[in-house]
Amino acid sequence: MEMEIKKDIYELAEEISSLLEEGRYSEAKKQVNSLHPVDVAEVIASLDTRKQVLVFRLLNKNQAIAVFEQLDFEQQENLLRHFTDEGVAQILNQMSPDDRTELFDELPAKVVKKFLNLLEPAQRNIAASMLGYPENSAGRIMSPHIIDLKEFYTVEQALNRIRRLNPPEELAYTAYVIDAERHLRGIATLRNLVLASPEEQVGEIMNRDFVFVFTDDDQEKAAQIIQKYDLLAVPVVDQEGRLVGAVTIDDAIDIIEAEATEDLHRLAAIVTTEDEYLRAPARQKIKSRFLWLAILLVMGTFTSFVMQNFENVLQSVIALSFFIPMLTDAGGNVGSQSTTLVVRELALGKLEGRYLWKMILSEALIGGVLGVLLGIVAMARVVFLRESLLLGLVLAISVGIIVFISNLIGIFLPILFKKIKLDPAIAATPVITTIVDIIGVFIYLQIAQSLLPL
Amino acid sequence: MEMEIKKDIYELAEEISSLLEEGRYSEAKKQVNSLHPVDVAEVIASLDTRKQVLVFRLLNKNQAIAVFEQLDFEQQENLLRHFTDEGVAQILNQMSPDDRTELFDELPAKVVKKFLNLLEPAQRNIAASMLGYPENSAGRIMSPHIIDLKEFYTVEQALNRIRRLNPPEELAYTAYVIDAERHLRGIATLRNLVLASPEEQVGEIMNRDFVFVFTDDDQEKAAQIIQKYDLLAVPVVDQEGRLVGAVTIDDAIDIIEAEATEDLHRLAAIVTTEDEYLRAPARQKIKSRFLWLAILLVMGTFTSFVMQNFENVLQSVIALSFFIPMLTDAGGNVGSQSTTLVVRELALGKLEGRYLWKMILSEALIGGVLGVLLGIVAMARVVFLRESLLLGLVLAISVGIIVFISNLIGIFLPILFKKIKLDPAIAATPVITTIVDIIGVFIYLQIAQSLLPL
């Protein structure tokens, strides 16, 4: 019995690493073949290339495939480079088609072409047709090897067919009932089949109410359906409505996790990459952050233009400049909040039709109230510190207006982006901050100019 | 055959709403009983209370339970208030224990006590013991009604037992093999059982390598294990190692989704609430946003103190103030990026032991490079616009140093928070922005004072 989850994969990696260095291969072999493939993949990820290849060669055939499927693309690519064509062919032919498609996605076209030629004809057809679907579509991550049944099968025949197909865990629990043209007629879960009596017909026990996605639909849509309806898999049909595969829950959970991370990164103006951030090389990390930072920096100088135009105001009351960071921060913070909320709701598909307008109205109200409240706080703070009622008033009014406007900008920008088919998350919070700065400084200095005796 | 997922739940709600208004109850009844419980729950969510109760009364018993489980807490609570004690008892006794515990979690203690008394003794025991586990623990969301088998059962006996237990979909695919003391000995999936021959013993086909969590473990841990090892459920054992339930993948996927949303909200300095943001009342939305905004506003005035101290510098070169928003934004943006990255990695449990130090070193390098690059951009931009080489130099050096320091602050703050057992995400990006402002303005004006001829 494995006592809880492995505590430190790095300890394990060191253990195996020293076994390899001391040439104690049979011990290493025993260990890596007794571990869970997920853990072996993590161990491999933390070894150098030479040892990665060594460990991989020690794995039994089934374990090798399972471990390979769990590795990152770079590691998969790296390992394949060290294998003979025969070794590559063995792995690629036995990988699950969805994992293989994901790998091919990352490889240069030339390499994919070469690899496709190493596949058996049946696998080559599957791989080529999956690569034909759009990027991030359900067709790319579906599993084509699903359990298909006919309505007239008895439950006993159905169970025998499942035994013959010998599906892996992730595909074992949902059977798709099709007609002669492979049109989907219903779904029978393994639970339905096991609980039914052997002589019943599949058509009697199957569920005729089901949801499905098209091959071209977004992966996220498939994942959201699985989550919403508590399914283990959602069937995928082609444009003619013929069943071609299913997206399974293990992929859905990864998609939901990845989308959330992607939103987070975009909101912080980080160009998202497919790879895990932590393992990406420093050069790539700099690249994914620099571009936006530079654009924002240049955009930020527009605030200086605004201030330059009010040079005389600032010159006569230098104290005005002291509160600019506080004001722009307040606007930026409020705008970031509303952007974050809207981006998340948009990602979860919750802002549709009239609900959008309801929210915009409600946010206008919320922004107004927050503006008044924060205006009072600002006034209190300034008066308390500087005892100039007039400057306090200028600040209070400015904070109020800036908060109200920033809140709405934070709402509208992502919605606008979505409408013009851009990713709403690019309306990243730093972008909002910068826009709000320019507007905020203008409002502030305008109000100061009108109210202060200059 | 349901043609794709329901397009607009609000259209459906209006349809049902008018049926109710026109008193065409039997048509409404037919419709709400033929829909998926998830969709009925969404329809109910968009109706007024009177109609909610009406729709609910039209549901068949099984559909009513299924729909009730899909509702939000507030709606559940609201509906229960309109039912007789008998009706409440019927629903609470038949709800799945994990959903019931979640509901009880949200109710006032007095109401929970009353509801507990409405439960049948067996259900009352289950409910009371689940409420005894810490908040957000695996014990709170586990399902206690799992399939338990003994090693000496034949596969046929095991399948018969499963038929007798008649488990719901989410619990049907994993069977837990226990000894006489209910200690977990292995796991057999329904696939294993169906593919095995009827006379084999469960002990021969079960998997003795498995992971589990304790009742007191965090829900997130259970969810992460399910995701990592591609499981449909993870067993939950008590402190004595006895099997008490399982956390299922449908709950895991919701936890992963909720945690990601929570991180996003916290990073935008929004106090997270259990409820969905969109449906929360405006007052609560304002509350969840105002506190942090007010704290940040007051913190922001510290920047004014710093600037006040350099009043003479600013007075003699007023142009210096023009670039303060650009500088503080640059620092804030870089800090937000690194905070977001660290918070996410921490949430995914990827930053442990030496990997943490590796990342800090790598981020110091990245911050340095970004500082130099952005310094050059700032210099180019300023020189291009104002043609003052010296001011450009002051800005370039300031940007470089501010970016480098902000990047490290953005890394360290969440790690520090984690070390002192605070949620790293409270090191929200606005907090970083405000801290970075104060430090940035100081650095900038200090450099200006030393380099410019004042």
The 10s digit of each residue's pLDDT in A102-136 is 899 888 889 999 999 999 999 999 999 999 999 88
A165 versus A302: which is more confidently predicted? A165
* The predicted structure's pLDDT at residue A4: 41
- Spatial contact of A216 and A142, defined as CB atoms under 8 Å apart: no
Is the domain of B385 the same as that of B444? yes
Rounded to an integer, the average pLDDT of B325-334 is 90
With cut-offs at 50, 70 and 90, classify the pLDDT of residue B173: very high
- Per-residue 3-state assignment (H helix, E strand, C coil) for B238-301: CCCCEEEEEEEHHHHHHHHHHHHHHHHHHHCCCCCCCCCHHHCCHHHHHHHHHHHHHHHHHHHH
With cut-offs at 50, 70 and 90, classify the pLDDT of residue A5: very low
The neighbouring-strand residues paired with A174 are A189
* The predicted structure's pLDDT at residue B276: 61
From CA A435, how far away is CA A262, in angstroms rounded? Answer: 23
Measured in whole angstroms, how far is the alpha carbon of residue B263 from the centre of its chain? 7
Rounded to an integer, the average pLDDT of A382-410 is 87
* The predicted structure's pLDDT at residue A354: 67
Q: Which of B81-85, B164-168, B185-189, B419-423 has the least mean pLDDT? A: B419-423
What's the gap in Å between the CA of B23 and the closest CA on chain A? 26
Helix, strand counts (H, E) of chain A: 23, 6
The neighbouring-strand residues paired with B254 are none
Residue A370 touches partner B, C-beta closer than 8 Å:
yes
From CA A207, how far away is CA A172, in angstroms rounded? Answer: 17
Is the domain of A159 the same as that of A238? yes
* The predicted structure's pLDDT at residue B4: 41
Q: What whole-number percentage of chain B has pLDDT above 70?
A: 94
- Give me the residue from B170, B194, B354 closest to A159, CB to CB: B194
Query: Which of A263-267, A276-280, B234-238, B324-328: highest mean pLDDT?
Result: B234-238
User: Which strands make up the sheet holding B147-149, listed edge to edge?
Assistant: B147-149, B174-178, B184-189
Q: What whole-number percentage of chain B has pLDDT above 90?
A: 52
From CA A57, how far away is CA A20, in angstroms rounded? Answer: 12
A275 versus B128: which is more confidently predicted? B128
- Give me the residue from B2, B211, B227 closest to A210, CB to CB: B2
Q: Which of A211-215, B93-97, B291-295 has the least mean pLDDT? A: B291-295
Q: In the numeric block, which tokens belong to residue A27? A: 């011990």
In a domain, B265, yes or no: no
Choosing from B257, B288, B305, the residue where a domain stops is: B257
* The predicted structure's pLDDT at residue B386: 62
- Spatial contact of A276 and A72, defined as CB atoms under 8 Å apart: yes
Residue A266 touches partner B, C-beta closer than 8 Å:
no
Is the domain of B324 the same as that of B359? yes
Which of A38, A326, A327 to probe by mutation at the B interface, max B CB count within 10 Å?
A: A326
Choosing from B242, B257, B272, the residue where a domain stops is: B257
Q: What is the mean pLDDT of chain B?
A: 88
Helix, strand counts (H, E) of chain B: 23, 6
Domain of residue A41, CATH code: 1.25.60.10
Is the domain of A329 the same as that of A244? no
Chain B residues touching A378 at Cβ < 8 A: 297
In a domain, A21, yes or no: yes
A264 versus A400: which is more confidently predicted? A400
Residue A324 touches partner B, C-beta closer than 8 Å:
yes
With cut-offs at 50, 70 and 90, classify the pLDDT of residue A271: confident
- Spatial contact of B38 and A229, defined as CB atoms under 8 Å apart: yes
* The predicted structure's pLDDT at residue B1: 36
- Per-residue 3-state assignment (H helix, E strand, C coil) for A241-293: CEEEEEEEHHHHHHHHHHHHHHHHHHHCCCCCCCCCHHHCCHHHHHHHHHHHH
- Give me the residue from A208, A209, A307 closest to B322, CB to CB: A307
Is the domain of A102 the same as that of A181? no
In this predicted structure, the answer to whether residue A3 has a pLDDT above a threshold of 50 is: no
Measured in whole angstroms, how far is the alpha carbon of residue A234 from the centre of its chain? 19
In a domain, B426, yes or no: yes
Residue A268 touches partner B, C-beta closer than 8 Å:
yes
Q: What is the mean pLDDT of chain A?
A: 88
pLDDT, tens only, A350-362: 666 667 788 888 8
The neighbouring-strand residues paired with A439 are none
In this predicted structure, the answer to whether residue A32 has a pLDDT above a threshold of 50 is: yes
Q: Which of A77-86, A168-177, B151-160 has the least mean pLDDT? A: A77-86
Q: Do B334 and A293 touch (CB under 8 A)?
A: yes
Q: Which residue has the tokens 């004042």?
A: B454
Residue A184 touches partner B, C-beta closer than 8 Å:
yes
Choosing from A135, A158, A176, the residue where a domain stops is: A135
SS3 for B137? strand
* The predicted structure's pLDDT at residue B27: 92
The neighbouring-strand residues paired with A207 are A187
Is the domain of B56 the same as that of B125? yes
Q: Which residue has the tokens 């595909």?
A: A171
- How many domains does chain B contain in total? 3
In a domain, B266, yes or no: no
B120-157 burial: b if 16+ Cβ within 10 Å, else e: eeebbebbebbbebeeebbbbbbbbbbbebbeebbbeb
From CA A40, how far away is CA A59, in angstroms rounded? Answer: 10
Q: Which of B317, B302, B332 is nearest to B445 (CA)?
A: B317
From CA B382, how far away is CA B392, in angstroms rounded? Answer: 5
Q: Which of B268, B288, B293 is nearest to B278 (CA)?
A: B288
Is the domain of A120 the same as that of A157? no
From CA B174, how far away is CA B177, in angstroms rounded? Answer: 10
Nearest residue in chain A measured CA to CA from B268: A337
Nearest residue in chain A measured CA to CA from B164: A195
From CA A294, how far away is CA B410, in angstroms rounded? Answer: 18
* The predicted structure's pLDDT at residue B135: 87
In this predicted structure, the answer to whether residue A439 has a pLDDT above a threshold of 80 is: yes
Measured in whole angstroms, how far is the alpha carbon of residue B77 from the centre of its chain? 22
User: Which strands make up the sheet holding A147-149, listed edge to edge?
Assistant: A147-149, A174-178, A184-189
pLDDT, tens only, A337-350: 888 888 878 877 76
Q: Which of A434, A430, A414, A412 is nearest to A422 (CA)?
A: A414
Q: Please, what is the Cα angle at A388 between A387 and A389, to 5 degrees? A: 105
**How many CB atoms sit inside 10 A of residue A97's CB?**
18
**How many CB atoms sit inside 10 A of residue B26's CB?**
10
- Spatial contact of A194 and B175, defined as CB atoms under 8 Å apart: no
The neighbouring-strand residues paired with B143 are B246
Measured in whole angstroms, how far is the alpha carbon of residue A276 from the centre of its chain? 11
Chain A residues touching B441 at Cβ < 8 A: 325
B299 versus A199: which is more confidently predicted? A199
Q: In the numeric block, which tokens belong to residue B88? A: 């409440």
What's the gap in Å between the CA of A412 and the closest CA on chain B? 16
From CA A345, how far away is CA A425, in angstroms rounded? Answer: 11
Rounded to an integer, the average pLDDT of A15-21 is 91
Is the domain of A38 the same as that of A67? yes
Phi, psi of B187 (to 5 degrees): -130, 135
What's the gap in Å between the CA of B100 and the closest CA on chain A? 17
Rounded to an integer, the average pLDDT of A33-45 is 90
Chain B residues touching A1 at Cβ < 8 A: 184-185, 208, 210
Domain of residue A220, CATH code: 3.10.580.10
**How many CB atoms sit inside 10 A of residue A85's CB?**
11
With cut-offs at 50, 70 and 90, classify the pLDDT of residue B46: confident
H-type alpha helices, A82-230: 85-94, 97-106, 109-118, 121-131, 138-141, 155-165, 190-195, 202-205, 219-228
pLDDT, tens only, A184-222: 999 999 999 999 999 999 999 999 989 999 999 999 999
From CA A397, how far away is CA A383, in angstroms rounded? Answer: 14
At how many degrees (to 10) do helices B9-21 and A353-386 cross? 110
CB pairs under 8 A between A and B: 372
Q: Do A303 and B297 touch (CB under 8 A)?
A: no
Is the domain of B341 the same as that of B398? yes
Q: Which of B153, B37, B29 is nearest to B96 (CA)?
A: B37
* The predicted structure's pLDDT at residue A358: 80
Measured in whole angstroms, how far is the alpha carbon of residue B21 from the centre of its chain? 39
What's the gap in Å between the CA of B264 and the closest CA on chain A? 6
Q: Do A353 and B10 touch (CB under 8 A)?
A: yes
What's the gap in Å between the CA of B164 and the closest CA on chain A? 9
Domain of residue A297, CATH code: 1.10.357.20
* The predicted structure's pLDDT at residue B272: 66
Q: Do A345 and B277 touch (CB under 8 A)?
A: yes
Q: Which amino acid is at A382?
A: V
Q: Which residue has the tokens 């975009």?
A: A266
Q: Which of A129, A40, B325 is nearest to A16 (CA)?
A: A40
Q: Do B341 and A249 touch (CB under 8 A)?
A: no
From CA B351, how far away is CA A171, in angstroms rounded? Answer: 33
In this predicted structure, the answer to whether residue B342 has a pLDDT above a threshold of 90 is: no
From CA B450, how far away is CA B454, in angstroms rounded? Answer: 9
* The predicted structure's pLDDT at residue A243: 96
What's the gap in Å between the CA of A293 and the closest CA on chain B? 7
SS3 for A177? strand
- Give me the residue from A173, A226, A374 closest to B293, CB to CB: A374
SS3 for B1? coil
In a domain, B317, yes or no: yes
In a domain, B397, yes or no: yes
What's the gap in Å between the CA of A126 and the closest CA on chain B? 24
Is the domain of A98 the same as that of A154? no
From CA A43, how far away is CA A54, in angstroms rounded? Answer: 12
In a domain, A267, yes or no: no
In a domain, A271, yes or no: no
Rounded to an integer, the average pLDDT of B93-105 is 91
From CA A255, how far away is CA A219, in angstroms rounded? Answer: 7
Q: Which of A19-28, B180-189, B358-367, B404-413 has the least mean pLDDT? A: B358-367
Nearest residue in chain A measured CA to CA from B300: A326
Is the domain of A157 the same as that of A226? yes
From CA B66, how far away is CA B68, in angstroms rounded? Answer: 5
Residue A415 touches partner B, C-beta closer than 8 Å:
no
pLDDT, tens only, A125-164: 999 999 999 988 999 999 999 999 999 999 999 999 999 9
Is the domain of B301 the same as that of B408? yes
What's the gap in Å between the CA of A301 and the closest CA on chain B? 6
Q: Please, what is the Cα angle at A20 between A14 and A26, to 5 degrees? A: 115
* The predicted structure's pLDDT at residue A353: 65
Q: Which of B274, B298, B327, B282 is nearest to B439 (CA)?
A: B327
Q: Do A286 and B325 touch (CB under 8 A)?
A: no
Give the domain extent around A212. 147-257
